[in-house]
Structure 1
Amino acid sequence: MAGIKSTMDLVMERAARMGVATPDEMRHEENLKKGMHCTAEFLNGTQPSLLALLEEQEPAQRAAIRKGMLASLLRNLFLPRDDDGTGRLGKAVQGIVELNRDSADISALCRELQTIASQYGQHRTQLYEQLKEQMRMQIEQMLMRKGMKADGMKIDPTMEPQFKDQWARLEMDLDRQYGQALEQFKAQLQEWTGA
């Protein structure tokens, strides 16, 4: 926990840096923020192309704005748990590929990353359904031992505390496995893109 800085610590460090920052450093910081803002608009669907946004900027500012865009895109690479997350990941990958359109290696790495994210989603759904069926069968067996019939009863094993506990453990293990692969992809992309 000691390695995690609070928001106030970060604000204070930034304020200290701003007090000694040169005008060039301050402009660079503003351009990074501008790139991040452009990326937010792109990810939210209000801007169709990051490259077009970048090309609208002054040539002297483009490198810093691009770096801000890439940093923001890399932060949006995560293991998606729903369709919205999958869409956002897809947009982030699209932005990275667009900003590095001359690099076949980056395009290939992004395709691999999307494959891993897709496999994660499939694996997650499969594990969830397997656990759900396993718990449903256990509940039915318990009812039969008590002399009750499960026929016609609507059994929702996901409401059981035992299901929630087991699912939390399975999901944590799955996230750790796929998360390690994702972090490796992100590190490689960061290195190759210069973000």
Structure 2
Amino acid sequence: MAEIKSAFEIAMERAEKIGSLSREEIEQQKWEEKGKKTAAAYLSGKIDSLQDGLKDVPAQYIQTALSGVSDVLLRNIVLPRDPHQWDGIRRAMQGLTEIKGSIASQVMPQIEQLLKNYESTMSHYKEQFKQQVSQAMGGRDMNAMAMDSEGLNALASMQDEWNKMSAEISQQFEQQLEPMKAYLK
């Protein structure tokens, strides 16, 4: 069984690890972390340009900082399960285009199209599923179904079926999205 560690033990392990790192490795970690924080500030709208956030990075560490930026931005390009996610996704895509240039400009339209296709596919299947549920209920009201145990079991079964179907669709689209994101690393 795994041992639960105290905050002190975790802090001591970190200090030990830092002690075993070379000065160069410590500097690289510092600038990669700076890149990650810059990307987070960019995504939250605290800074308008990634270049502004990275202007104090020494030239020999700019690639390290950009790697941190890239990691955070790529993690924010996700399948949109909610329309409100699009603002963050688009902001991440703009940031990647800013730091990667023409490479990102070539891939971003494909990524955006894939994400839109995901949205429309999910919407289509959701509508189909609603129709199937409506037909299966035979005109019974959802609230009335939830009142008796048979109806409750039917609703739970339908929810499980939808969860399985949506997970399969998401997995198919994730398999297409991941290579595009890997290309931008």
- Bin of the TM-score, shorter chain as denominator length: 0.7 to 0.9
- Equivalent residues of 1:136, 1:155 under 8 A apart: no
**Pair 1:61-2:56 in alignment:** no
Provide the C-alpha distance between the structure 1 equivalents of 2:125 and 2:64, rounded to a whole number of angstroms. 43
Deviations 1:30-81 (A, max 9, x none): 1100100011111112111112222343334322211111111122222110
Q: 1:14 to 1:86 in 2, by over 3 A?
A: farther
C-alpha displacement at 1:87, in angstroms?
1.8
Which runs of 5 or more residues in structure 2 are unaligned? Answer: 1-6, 146-151
Aligned twin of 2:81: 81
Aligned twin of 1:181: 176
- Across the two proteins, how many residue pairs are aligned to each other? 169
Aligned twin of 1:124: 122
**Pair 1:169-2:167 in alignment:** no
1:9-28 map, 5 Å: 15-28=15-28
C-alpha displacement at 1:176, in angstroms?
1.1
Aligned twin of 1:108: 106
Deviations 1:13-39 (A, max 9, x none): 755541221112101101100100011
How much is the aligned-residue C-alpha RMSD, in angstroms?
A: 2.6
C-alpha displacement at 1:12, in angstroms?
8.1
**Pair 1:38-2:38 in alignment:** yes
Aligned twin of 1:145: none
- Equivalent residues of 1:35, 1:66 under 8 A apart: yes
Identity score, percent: 26
C-alpha displacement at 1:177, in angstroms?
0.3
- Equivalent residues of 2:43, 2:92 under 8 A apart: yes
| Structure-1-length-normalised TM-score | 0.76
Which runs of 5 or more residues in structure 1 are unaligned? Answer: 1-7, 141-149, 191-195
Provide the C-alpha distance between the structure 2 equivalents of 1:11 and 1:72, rounded to a whole number of angstroms. 25
C-alpha displacement at 1:108, in angstroms?
1.5
| Structure-2-length-normalised TM-score | 0.80
- Equivalent residues of 1:109, 1:185 under 8 A apart: yes
